[in-house]
Amino acid sequence: MALPKRRQSKARGRKRRTHYKSQAVATTTCAQCSQTKMPHRACPNCGYYRGRPVVSAS
């Protein structure tokens, strides 16, 4: 396999990474309490997931 002859500069590597951007966190609404929550996770407000209580609400 080919190997690079010279090390790439920090500026060159950073230029390549300018399009690596973090995405906004996806949110959905809870069916029980209508609060926003992350998908596929128990609601931090009421503790329900898929219609069942799975975590004691704090």
Per-residue pLDDT tens over the stretch 23-39: 999 999 999 999 999 99
**This prediction's pTM:** 0.59
Enclosing H/E stretch for 28: strand 28-29
**In this structure, are residues 35 and 29 in contact, taking their beta carbons and an 8 Å threshold?**
yes
Beta bridge partners of 53: 48
pLDDT band of 58, cuts 50, 70, 90: low
Q: Does residue 36 contact residue 26 with C-beta atoms inside 8 Å? A: no
